[in-house]
Amino acid sequence: MTSLDDLAGTARAGTLYGIGVGPGDVRYLTLRAAGLVRAVDVVAFFAKRGLQGNARRIVTPLLAPGQAEARLEYPMTEEAPAESADYQREIGAFYRDAAVRLAGLLRAGKSVGLLAEGDPFFYGSFMHMWRRLAPDFPVEVVPGVTGMSGCWTRAKTPITWGDDMLAVLPGTLGESALVERLRLTDAAVIMKVGRNLAKVRRAVEQAGLLARAIYVERGTMADERILPLADCTEGRGAYFGMVLIPGEGRRI
Ligand SMILES: C[S@@+](CC[C@H](N)C(=O)[O-])C[C@H]1O[C@@H](n2cnc3c(N)ncnc32)[C@H](O)[C@@H]1O
């Protein structure tokens, strides 16, 4: 019988791995992701100042003692409005410096596994490294279970039935844009709810969808919270929070 380690495979020198670590519960890593976390020379991850970093926390049970790590620490502690010029400048410089640091490791022949919550190619910071490094270095991206899959699973809510259309919307959209998009879809996932929670709730209500909207915070993590959005009265939610609006399509 093939061992799990054989299935997971090895890491190649000088290669960047974008490792999708899933929504929060370490058991939802793919075999390839779990194998790479143990096989790479350096485990790299993004983290906010003063915090462990969510992706790093997820893989803690897999890390060998003394595993080399590269912590890429965001310069800002608060979620800032992404459209502000200051934010753009600061985050742009941070991503440039982080890419230079990772390039140094890759050039020295290290295999580097950059952790990404959920799936690396789905609203992931990893993509900003991939864009800068993929032209010059070999890269392998390992898909992950997205946060939304983890959330609707934990909420015990199928999200699309029959021919339902699903819209994935960022909670950073303006209120009227959210209402407009919500009115056009059968099912929706609203990401990046955090500081936008009150606005998202108003938009869902205006679109007539409050009765079936579910708020999920830190889905699949130890301190997960799941409740009807209608019961969620706080103005601001956790960074890892999303709203699910399940479709009501064909049921046979
Ligand atoms: C920058 S995006 C990263 C998405 C990630 N790459 C994925 O595949 O899910 C961060 C947003 O994902 C959502 N999210 C990711 N994982 C989550 C979880 N376990 N519980 C609730 N929301 C989550 C939240 O809306 C959060 O603001």
C-beta 87 within 6 A of ligand 1: no
What pLDDT, on a 0 to 100 scale, did the predictor assign at position 5?
A: 80
Compute the average pLDDT of residues 6-21.
93
What pLDDT, on a 0 to 100 scale, did the predictor assign at position 78?
A: 61
C-beta 24 within 6 A of ligand 1: yes
What pLDDT, on a 0 to 100 scale, did the predictor assign at position 177?
A: 98
Span from the CA of 145 to the centroid of ligand 1 (angstroms): 11
Band (pLDDT 50/70/90 cuts) for residue 81 is: low
Residues paired with residue 46 on neighbouring β-strands, in sequence order: 72
| Token pair of 197 as six digits | 């929670």
Dmax (CA) of the chain = 58
> Whole-model pTM?
0.95
Residues paired with residue 195 on neighbouring β-strands, in sequence order: none
Band (pLDDT 50/70/90 cuts) for residue 77 is: low
> DSSP alpha helices (H): ranges in the chain?
4-8, 31-39, 54-58, 85-107, 126-133, 147-154, 175-184, 197-206
C-beta 186 within 6 A of ligand 1: no
What pLDDT, on a 0 to 100 scale, did the predictor assign at position 200?
A: 98
Residue 84 has pLDDT above 60, yes or no: yes
Identify the helix (H) or strand (E) that includes residue 243: strand 241-245
Tokens 């929060």, located at residue = 24
What pLDDT, on a 0 to 100 scale, did the predictor assign at position 85?
A: 85
- Which of 71-75, 86-90, 194-198 has the weakest average pLDDT? 86-90
Band (pLDDT 50/70/90 cuts) for residue 79 is: low
